[in-house]
Amino acid sequence: MTNKFFFRILGLALFCGVTLGGGFGVARAQTVAVMVNGEPITNFDIEQRSKLDRLSNQSRTRQQVLDELIDEKVKVREGKKYGVTPSDSDIDSSFASMSSRMRMSPDQMVKMLGAQGIRAETLKSKIKAEMVWTSLIRGRFKDSLLVGEKEIQAQLAAKGGDEKTTTESFEYQMRPIVLIVSRGSDASAMEARRKEAESLRSRVQSCEDADRIFKALPNTAIRATVVKTSADLPPALRELLDKTPVGQMTAPEATRQGIEMVALCSRKPTTADTPKKREIRDKMFAEKFQAKSKDYLREVRNAAMIEYRGADAAGGRSGR
């Protein structure tokens, strides 16, 4: 993995609010920069977060970094008031998911961070704060975050059209099928299975046919039925399924597991969100969430006891 690729992926993950964890080095003497409700933020904490910024191609002032650390302290404290405290296993699970998306194991991620002089614990504190805050906002303000049908229709009208005239939403029932090819096999093995899949595919006229034919085939996996709506699927897959007759199969495709196809069991109209409505709903929810988060954070931060020490005392402030 190139450094450029690593930095780009890490930057995206941090922007989405997902971080990592682990351990690094031996604790050293730390000078307290700020006390937040009796808990210290040290100069070492600030240095660590600044290194994380550089790793993800961010450039912020010391005060901006310090403000973020203060925010995290008050978020975690507010969570405790309402019994919202992620367990170590919750944090480790999020860390492992993050590592996987970056094509690393958790241990590899810890080593990568350590090579940059960053304690993984620095990132664990960030993930904990974001988990707490997301749970708090969703839990305490659930009703006010809901996006109603009238709001969506108003947005559609404002964009100059009625979506019903341009698109429909469908519910798809599918059976994914994999003709397994062992890792390390040469190209000829993959091509042989592709031809086999193509030949058998032509005999399938229903999901029952697919079940019967492929269950009898060695080294083949038939997945459980998957149900998705148009809004759940990426555009390319929606287009492919819309072109596939019900009861038949999509064209064979080479993947890491082998040759994959999907048997389309049914496709029927649904009143569920269309892709455009889902896009609008998600955007409006995110806007409401961010607004509520900003107001709530201002409230809890203004109520916090924040005491700046040393050089930070001159320019320090307790709210924003």
> What does pTM read for this prediction?
0.59
**Does 168-269 carry CATH code 3.10.50.40?**
yes
Q: Is the pLDDT of residue 72 over 50?
A: yes
**What is the rounded distance in angstroms from the CA atom of residue 155 to the CA atom of residue 163?**
11
Cross-strand bridge partners of residue 268: 171
- Residue 87, token pair as written in the block: 């367990």
**pLDDT per residue as tens digits for the range 272-294:** 777 777 788 888 889 999 999 99
**What is the rounded distance in angstroms from the CA atom of residue 85 to the CA atom of residue 89?**
11
Domain ranges of the chain: 3-141, 168-269
Confidence at residue 227, expressed as pLDDT on a 0 to 100 scale: 92
- Residue 149, token pair as written in the block: 């049908």
Q: Where are the alpha helices (DSSP H) in 82-222?
A: 88-101, 106-115, 120-140, 142-145, 149-158, 187-201, 207-215
Region 56-76: what's the mean pLDDT?
Answer: 92
**Long-range CB contacts (within 8 A, 24+) of 217-222:** 217/179, 219/179, 219/180, 220/177, 220/178, 220/179, 220/180, 221/177, 221/178, 221/180, 221/257, 222/175, 222/176, 222/177
**pLDDT per residue as tens digits for the range 237-255:** 888 999 999 999 999 999 8
CATH of domain 3-141: 1.10.4030.10
Contact partners, residue 168, CB within 8 Å, separation at least 6 = 230, 269, 274
Q: Is the pLDDT of residue 5 over 50?
A: no
